[in-house]
Structure 1
Amino acid sequence: MSPERKQFLSLISLHLSGLPEGERSEAVRKADRQIDHAVRSGLTEQAALIRLGDPKVIAEEYRGQARESKRGARSFKGVLRLIGFCCTTGLLTAIVVPFLAALAYGFGISSILIFAAGLLRTFGVPWIPLNLGPGLAIPAEYSMAATLIGGVVTGWIGYVSGGVLKKYLAFLSASYRRVQPGQSC
């Protein structure tokens, strides 16, 4: 076996490192048989390697085929895990996602409106009240500073809510992938 062929097959094996050893070996043997077949049909080994293509692409194709072959084979334990996932995340997700999205967008838009109101009040728009409570009105000359602080705090709450929402959705996605057939847990 030539060094190029060894390197080609070892790259396929490397790109399949997440699979069990038996499946990885089978993929490498399959690629080796394809090279042998191409050489027996008249190609040089170098031409056969070029014809097969990128080892990374070959590994991804093999992963896809392995996933598809395992899709139909769902164990009882896998079905229970999927039911458990749906039961534990279904209602929670129906509450958490809209709540966090409303917080993120609501506070984000509010921060812009607070800043705009302070800017307008600073330049003399009299109908925009800025009160901290009953009888605690902020003078017009301090409007910009007060609304800048309020806008930053409100914007920060929206930003944090959006970050929590992204993390929750990433967690859901990763959890869902783990309960799919053919995935190891």
Structure 2
Amino acid sequence: MDIKLEKYLNTVDKHLKPLPASERADIVREIKSSMIEMEQEELSSDAILERLGDPKELARAYLGDLVTNSRGFGWNRFLAACAFYSAVGFSGIIVLPVLAIIAPVFILCGAVTPILGLVKFGALLFFDYDISLISFQLGPITLPPAAGFIYAVIIGVLLVLLGIGAWKLLVLYVRTVALVHKGQNKKKN
């Protein structure tokens, strides 16, 4: 088996630590047999890894399935439930507010930065007046208005791209959580 696939299995095993060793071994064997079947279908290692997805998410899904499908009480199951719901809850507490704030702020700052560079450069060019409240610094160096405008455009584009990326991550996170929630509701019915 490929080194990449072995690393993937080790990562999944590492994230299944709340489970007893026998259950972890069963899950890893199941994933390994799926990998072998995909190799027999002549899929590359990268294609197999792409199909399986993120190893942390796969382990989290197995933890969630074991927690929701188990009928009896046991400390291992209780600890697995705590680990699963803590990870899901904590990620929601951190990810949603951070991305929801960062995305629009980066986009807004990315739009305003070149405008301020243009205002400073235009004031110096047309009115021979240097607006001291608007300055562009690159480390300890304060840039002149022409270089500051170019710098502002570059930084503005980068901020807009970062904002768009953060927004796409936010939408992806919300869709993923919605799919997981729908999947859990189907299991209950």
TM-score normalized with structure 2 length:
0.49
Q: Which residue of 1 aligns with 2:28?
A: none
- Amino acid in structure 2 at the alignment position of 1:105: P
Equivalent residues of 2:103, 2:164 under 8 A apart: yes
- Amino acid in structure 1 at the alignment position of 2:88: T
The 2-side partners of 1:167 and 1:105 are apart by 16
Asked if 1:130 corresponds to 2:136, the answer is yes
Q: Which residue of 2 aligns with 1:77?
A: 69
Asked if 1:146 corresponds to 2:151, the answer is yes
Asked if 1:161 corresponds to 2:166, the answer is yes
The 1-side partners of 2:122 and 2:85 are apart by 54
How far off is 1:177 after superposition?
0.3
Matches within 5 A, 1:58-77: 77=69
Q: Which residue of 2 aligns with 1:94?
A: 93
With CA pairs under 8 Å and 6+ residues apart, which has the higher RCO, 1 or 2?
1
Equivalent residues of 2:135, 2:148 under 8 A apart: no
How far off is 1:182 after superposition?
5.0
Answer with 89-98 or 124-133: which moved more: 124-133
Q: Which residue of 1 aligns with 2:184?
A: 179
CA 1:96/1:138 → structure 2, altered by over 3 Å: closer, same or farther? same
- Amino acid in structure 2 at the alignment position of 1:142: A
How far off is 1:114 after superposition?
0.7
How far off is 1:143 after superposition?
2.8
* Unaligned ranges ≥5, structure 2: 1-67, 72-76, 124-129
- Amino acid in structure 2 at the alignment position of 1:168: Y
Equivalent residues of 1:78, 1:181 under 8 A apart: no
Same amino acid, percent of matched pairs: 21
Matches within 5 A, 1:32-71: none
CA 1:78/1:100 → structure 2, altered by over 3 Å: closer, same or farther? farther
The 2-side partners of 1:78 and 1:153 are apart by 48
How far off is 1:78 after superposition?
8.1
The 1-side partners of 2:103 and 2:70 are apart by 35
The 1-side partners of 2:90 and 2:114 are apart by 37
Q: Which residue of 2 aligns with 1:114?
A: 113
Instruction: Determine which structure has more spread, i.e. the larger CA radius of gyration.
Output: 1
The 2-side partners of 1:166 and 1:110 are apart by 21
